[in-house]
Amino acid sequence: MTTPSPAPARRHFSMIRGFHLADVFTLGNAACGVGAVFLAMAYMASQSLAQFYWAAALAPAAFIFDVFDGRIARWRQTHSALGRELDSLADIISFGVAPAALAFAAGLDGGWDCILLVYFVCCGVSRLARYNVTAEALSEGADKVKYFEGTPIPTSVVLVGVLAYAASQGGIGAAVWGGAWVLGPWQLHPLVLLFALSGTLMISKTLRIPKF
């Protein structure tokens, strides 16, 4: 009777050894998103437009990091499951939570506004999760996905741009563009409907956006 050989020792997963250059850019994306949330909170306390503008400026900065991490991964051929998960987590901070926080700071803080902003973030989370589980099928054996199902979450940079422009025109806070509607127990600021539309487009199954 032979004695079964012991199972090989499980190798310790090292975060540092598992990182690639592209992952550093992904973390830069996440850092921009966190910074934008902090600056949005700081703006609410100080009402300093400079802090609001800096928060808005971190959205395109995060987008630049997001673009480069993908290109660097393809250039160096360092795709990994860790990198894909890092990218999704960073994107939800920078292009989901941060724009919602900036919208709340801009005056979209009624009860209905909060529900729609939460909806927007949840759509972003769902869209990224769907992308992660369908990316292999959508790529059809190629190095990258040929098209997006639904709008990519970084398109929320456009919403941040709208908020920044509104701020430059005095259209945030008590004078937020579109005013406010009282619907039942809560307020709704029509401007927040842009976030609801963006979230809905992200989770669309029929909308296909070519990926270049």
Q: pLDDT for 39-48, tens place per residue?
A: 999 999 999 9
Q: What is the pLDDT of residue 78?
A: 60
Distance of CA 32 to CAs 26, 60, 108, 208, Å?
A: 10, 9, 22, 28
Mean pLDDT over the full length of the chain: 86
**Low-confidence residues of the chain, pLDDT below 70?**
1-21, 70, 73-83, 135-146, 211-212
Distance of CA 197 to CAs 6, 39, 52, 137, 204, Å?
A: 56, 25, 23, 27, 11
Q: Report yes or no: 210 and 149 within 8 Å, Cβ to Cβ.
A: no
Q: What is the pLDDT of residue 42?
A: 98
Q: What is the pLDDT of residue 11?
A: 56
Q: What is the pLDDT of residue 14?
A: 52
Q: What is the pLDDT of residue 79?
A: 63
Point out which residues pair with 16 in neighbouring strands: none
Q: What is the pLDDT of residue 73?
A: 61
- Alpha-carbon span 23 to 29, nearest angstrom: 10
In three-state secondary structure terms, 91 is helix
In three-state secondary structure terms, 48 is coil
